[in-house]
Amino acid sequence: DGGITQSPKYLFRKEGQNVTLSCEQNLNHDAMYWYRQDPGQGLRLIYYSQIVNDFQKGDIAEGYSVSREKKESFPLTVTSAQKNPTAFYLCASSPRFKNIQYFGAGTRLSVL
């Protein structure tokens, strides 16, 4: 079954801790994205990557970091510098030249 897998589904972060959210896709898509969703809000772009070993900041990149060492994987680290990390995080991928993003099921991050 092809798709986008995000893990874990729920994640808790302690004060001062870095946590990493996983996003894996087996759709052979070139581009991958991370979005943050706050209650009653639309999604906001954190980071995106169009090819392996390259990524760009989105609108709210501060306090987050990413890597793209493999085409299938685009992990997001929420660092201790992100003072308000509680949100729903969605990962998406898109095939080259098609410009339609397909989303994973999301990770809900809370602060302890």
Partner 1 sequence: AQKVTQAQTEISVVEKEDVTLDCVYETRDTTYYLFWYKQPPSGELVFLIRRNSFDEQNEISGRYSWNFQKSTSSFNFTITASQVVDSAVYFCALSEAGAGGGADGLTFGKGTHLIIQP
Of the residues 16, 83, 84, 100, which one makes contact with partner 1 according to CB under 8 A: 100
Tokens of 58: 């989105």
To the nearest 10°, report the CA torsion of 37, 102, 7, 70: -120
Helix (H) or strand (E) holding 64: strand 64-66
Of the pair 63, 88, the CB lying nearest partner 1 is at 88
Q: Does 52 bind partner 1 (CB under 8 A)?
A: no
Of the two residues 80 and 103, which places its CB atom closer to partner 1 in the complex?
103
Query: What residue has token string 């079954």?
Result: 1
- Contact positions toward partner 1, by CB under 8 A? 31, 33, 35, 40-45, 48, 50, 56, 58, 88, 90, 92, 94, 96-97, 99-106, 108
